[in-house]
Structure 1
């Protein structure tokens, strides 16, 4: 501690007049001498103390003086007794270490005995056990209420460090003159990209006077329902998810993110080549074109239907590895009802558990294609049937 000489001298006087020192002139004189020497920065030896304090004469200064050692020992002993009783609250503690002849001036707080907490040990052990049991209980409770991380499909997204992009398939539209005489937008189901629009103009150059590309796109109602269901899953798994339109997707997005795509077979955008490269043991077609091509020319082809009575849709769920330790999950359908129903079912823990029990090999591999037949009216499914898992 920083030396406060006035306080040190005050404490020295208190010690030398205490009941432990007052009757021993040698101890009082020796302590006073050591304190003065220490304040001056000196570290006296035994013969120095003998000469300067006791007026001794030594023929051999290397020979130890046993009397000095005894005096020093007595000073240490008296200091210990003093601080155990009278000096227990002194701001400074005088310390003469063994083998040394200078005084160290310590703060009282450096010499307070550690608190005896042995009586707390049973309580500490009990509290620790309660905390462990509580932690295990909460963990089990969380797993029961948050089963997503252990369920197929979503487990691979929950365990992956990459963020997830929820890509919503938006539809290509173009501008033109409306029958009302105003300018508006058109949606042609056979034109789903700028490339197809350019082909239309090339074949019909006269349309360039009335039609033009639009910066607008549109989403069907399906996007709202599906986005809400998927976001609920990620809220519970605490995954990082962001939404993006398929028309805004960039090639780097396919490499740097996990992807969940929800859209129509006709608005795949950048995913079109990925889907085309996958192997399918079945096909899906519309009245005008092949939507999903089968590898086997004799494979069964499924064709969605739309009548005044009901819609029949074939929803396809594809879970597959991406390009760089990322995951791709596709929800594809021809009508809104297909994706709404498929996403609703695959964001249900009960349904996923049943599905994984019936098809453990396919789902646990995190690389599968599930085809569903969905029938319904006005975006409300009346039946949902799993046709196959490959």
Structure 2
């Protein structure tokens, strides 16, 4: 049973005292290094919890990570990274003498005091959604995903409202110029990831169900195959047709849609928003498609033609890729912050290929979210788009460009072009790419990215 963080009269005082006692056990384990913000983050969340005033991500960024700065970037990744670190540390902490311990539930910035019931809020990595009690969403969770995305877009919309106007003149710059002259709708496709539910045992002693992302199970059809091949384990997994979209993908999609709305050439075009799992062959044929997301979230319907057109191959780790044409490897430093003063590296990617019916397909992607934020800024800035060589960007068969993105703490320091080249697209709509051998769920990689 969970103790509520706040209450009335004596009950509230007892809970507050119990939480402070638990906090006194936790705090010495948080470290004291200057660059480690865990103690400050923990103290801030504790006081806001006891006050019954849950903070939002921006308030945490301002109070804990701002260093006296104002107007800190709302996309600051430090908050999510350190929240994840704190949650993991609390999960690993031994219970107090009475069996209670502090807990930071997924999706919440309020601490919670829980009794020894064996219930934990499980988590995987900073960008993977996990939930202790998945809810079925009727026939499909597609409506829920879009509703959630719409709510987040509205929440971050205020930030973009204060950015300098971008988007003017996009119609004259590649890759957007390839979409000019068409009256087709534009479909913005967000990279997403399929989640299934893991169920361990039954009855009062069973662990609570959790949502799992596994790179060997990219679709619900793969889960069905797994259940067919492993009938003894079929009852331990369940499908609720749920998908996850990273926060960086949502922010980048909003920035790009905003820029297109400001450009006269695109303002009157219908712009729809779907996740990669919702992209249908009909949309792929009848609309101009713009993919926004991590390289690993492309989805089979888009991955197939791009794998044939591009020599890049994503590594099994999903944070690196190899250029098969040159043998060079490119690897993202990911989101782990060992020291806030150490620069990090990610890679961004832009590509255009002709669609199956005279339409265009654009890809605005990265290995991880830091690179995606930089690519979203780059593709709506006509000055920065000028770094694309016309002879490459206007190649009728399409092109691809790779950028190295430099970051420092939560700030992007710009993108340096690594390569630009035409791609080979002849026949990509007439044949399918080779299909990798089916690999059943690997326990060692489940829930990891």
TM-score scaled by length of structure 2: 0.49
For 1:219 and 1:244, the matched residues in 2 are separated by 11
Q: Secondary structure at the match of 1:266?
A: helix
Cα offset, 1:342, TM superposition: 0.8
Query: Unpaired runs of 5+ in structure 1?
Result: 1-143
**Cα distance between partner residues in 2 of 1:303 and 1:169:** 19
> Cα distance 1:154–1:389, how it changes in 2: closer, same or farther (>3 A)?
same
Pick the aligned partner of 1:219 from 242, 245, 262: 245
**Match for residue 56 of structure 2?**
none
* Equivalence for 2:19: none
CA distance in 1 between partners of 2:401 and 2:296 (Å): 19
CA distance in 2, matches of 1:248, 1:279: 23
Deviation at 1:181, TM superposition (A): 3.0
Partner of 1:229: 255
Equivalent residue, structure 2, for 1:362: 392
1:378–1:273 distance in 2 versus 1, CA, 3 Å: farther
2:328 corresponding residue in structure 1: 300
User: What residue number does 1:117 align with?
Assistant: none
Alignment deviations for residues 136-194 of structure 1 (CA, whole Å, 9 cap, x no partner): xxxxxxxx993222222112223221111001111100012379833331122443222
For residue 247 of structure 1, report the CA deviation from its aligned partner. 1.0
Quote the residue 2:278 is aligned against: 248
Aligned with 2:171 (options 149, 171, 174): 149
Instruction: Tell me by how many angstroms 1:321 deviates.
Output: 1.1
**Corresponding residue for residue 361 of structure 2:** 328
Q: Kindly name which structure, 1 or 2, has the bigger radius of gyration based on alpha carbons.
A: 1
CA offset at residue 384 of structure 1? 1.9
Residues of 2 paired with 1:186 and 1:174: CA distance? 5
The change in CA–CA distance for 1:267 and 1:155 in structure 2 (over 3 A counts) is: same
The secondary structure found in structure 1 opposite 2:296 is coil
The answer on whether the counterparts of 1:173 and 1:216 sit within 8 Å (CA) in structure 2 is: yes
Of 299, 304, 307, the match for 1:273? 304
1:350 aligns with 2:383: yes
User: What's the C-alpha RMSD, in Å, of the aligned pairs?
Assistant: 2.9
Q: How far, CA to CA, are the matches of 1:221 and 1:328 in structure 2?
A: 23
**Deviation, structure 1 residue 379:** 6.0
Check the 8 A contact 2:321/2:331 in 1, yes or no.
Answer: no
The structure with the greater share of residues assigned to helix is 1
**1:187 equivalent in structure 2:** 213
Kept in 2: contact 1:223–1:262 (CA 8 A): yes
Matched position secondary structure for 1:330: strand
* 1:175 maps onto 2:197 in alignment: yes
Among 381, 388, 412, the residue aligned to 1:381: 412
In the alignment, the residues of structure 1 paired with residue 375 and residue 174 of structure 2 have an alpha-carbon distance, to the nearest angstrom, of 15
Please state how far the C-alpha of 1:292 moved relative to its aligned partner: 6.1
Aligned to 2:153: none
| Counterpart-to-counterpart distance in 2, 1:240 and 1:279 | 29
Higher relative contact order (CA 8 A, sep 6+): 2
- CA 1:292/1:273 → structure 2, altered by over 3 Å: closer, same or farther? farther
Instruction: Give, in angstroms, the shift of residue 319 of structure 1.
Output: 1.1
Structure 2 vs 1, CA of residues 360 and 335 (structure 1 numbering), >3 Å: closer, same or farther?
A: same
SS of 1:305 mapped into structure 2: coil
Q: Which residue in 2 is equivalent to 1:372?
A: 403
Alpha-carbon displacement from aligned partner over 1:7-55 (angstroms, at most 9, x marks no partner): xxxxxxxxxxxxxxxxxxxxxxxxxxxxxxxxxxxxxxxxxxxxxxxxx
Q: How far apart, in 1, do the equivalents of 2:408 and 2:332 lie?
A: 14
Going from structure 1 to structure 2, the CA distance change for 1:300 and 1:235 (only over 3 Å counts) comes to same
Partner deviation per Cα, 1:178-232 (whole Å, 9 max, x = no partner):
7983333112244322243345445644331221122211111012211221112
Classify 1:170/1:226 alpha carbon distance in 2 versus 1 (closer, same or farther; 3 Å): same
Alignment correspondent of 1:314: 347
Q: Distance in 1 between matches of 2:238 and 2:370?
A: 31
Q: Give the direction of change, closer, same or farther, for the CA distance of 1:383–1:174 in structure 2 (3 Å limit).
A: same
Change beyond 3 A, Cα 1:378–1:371: same
TM-score under structure 1 length normalisation: 0.55
State how far apart, in whole Å, the 2-side matches of 1:232 and 1:289 are. Answer: 28
Contact 2:349–2:366 under 8 Å retained in 1:
yes
- Partners of 2:280 and 2:313 in 1: CA distance: 28
